[in-house]
Amino acid sequence: MAAWTVWTLLLCAVLTGQGSKSQDCGVAPLNTRVVGGVNATAGSWPWQVSMHSTSSRTHFCGGTLVSNQWILTAAHCIISNILSSYTLYLGRETQSGPNVHEVSSTVSKIIVHPDYNNKRFNNDIALIELSNPVTFNDYIRPVCLASNSSQFHNSTSCWATGWGQIGKDEALPTKYSLQEVQIPVIGGNQCSCIYRKQINITNEMICAGQENKGICQGDSDSFKMSG
């Protein structure tokens, strides 16, 4: 079964920095970009965030650092309105063992898109405010956001990163390092054909993926664009 990826985030991360005025965003000095669904080198994706349930102390969703105090994630990752339910980790490499460059944070505010539809997955986007600003370094940096005029053409190379499932019907891994894989954008018509029995693909969605390469549960909000 093809591992096609459907994404509904309206603000897609552009690694080249197009549409951003910040000189700090979108720069990953330690990125080696190994293609094929393998372990990511420490510091390769300094905007990657690991969202944990405070009660279970386990990873359940990904996020993206967009400034020194704000995280972009998927609205379906907001599983509770209680702020203390979440602990966020930045600069994390692995879900077990030491993470010497890691910083943890609690949450001070959550903003879910007012038009989010959890049945159709329209506007599946949310913002999380960290309790305190983080200091940027080689392992913790913000991504650059796309401009309003950005276009994402078929076959544009993308990167998916995360600590989600690495195979169908497998449990979320607890000991894996951050994974990365390169996948192409696919057209809306093709995506609609693939998902016609599961979800209505709208113009507010972007599809990316290919057979045996993509994302799975636990990888939400881990889609990165590169020009």
Residues contacting residue 180 through CB under 8 Å, at least 6 positions apart: 33, 34, 37, 38, 39, 40, 44, 45, 159, 160, 161
> Could you tell me whether strands 223-225 and 13-14 are parallel, antiparallel, or unpaired per DSSP bridges?
parallel
Residue 40 amino acid letter: A
Q: Which residues are catalytic?
A: 76, 124, 220
Pairwise CA distance, residues 127 & 144, whole Å: 15
Count of alpha carbons within 13 angstroms of residue 200, beta-carbon side: 8
| Cα 146 from Cα 126, distance rounded (Å) | 16
Q: Are 103 and 139 in contact (CB under 8 A)?
A: no
